[in-house]
Amino acid sequence: MIAFISLYKLRPEVTPEKLEDMMSRTRVSLLRIPEVLAVKTGKRVNPSDSFEWFVYLEVESMDKLAICQDDPHYIKYREEVLKPNVAEQEAEAFEMEPRKDVKFS
């Protein structure tokens, strides 16, 4: 099982209302992708933290993550939600199964 976590720094013009809309659109858009098992998104609590927003996706494998990222729903989401509002992004994938060799993820 793979956890894919993206952290985002937003453009200065993104208002709190816009961020709320982005969070809703994230859930709606990404849950339409069959390979996505779970979506979580949230905004920062501590104003001194460097990233304002995160998106967490759960998929079965790295192959399923690649399929997810090629899905038309994901591409539309990236173009309409992420690109216009995100200044900087960091993303990492993690294997969540204990004792599973990550080369088989």
Q: Give pTM, 2 decimals.
A: 0.89
Q: Which CATH number fits domain 2-96: 2.60.40.1220, 3.40.50.2000, 3.30.70.100, 1.25.40.80?
A: 3.30.70.100
| Cβ neighbour number for residue 26 with a 10 Å cutoff | 21
Q: 8 near 86, Cβ under 8 Å?
A: yes
Rounded distance, CA 90 to CA 94, Å?
Answer: 14
Residue-level pLDDT at 104: 61
Q: What is the pLDDT of residues 49-68, one digit of tens each?
A: 999 999 999 999 999 999 99
Residues of the chain with pLDDT under 50: none
Q: Are strands 2-10 and 38-43 parallel, antiparallel or unpaired?
A: unpaired
Give the sheet arrangement for strand 2-10, strand by strand.
38-43, 53-59, 2-10, 86-95
Domain boundaries, the chain: 2-96
Residue-level pLDDT at 97: 80
CA distances from 24 to 40, 42, 50, 93, 94 (A): 10, 10, 22, 23, 24
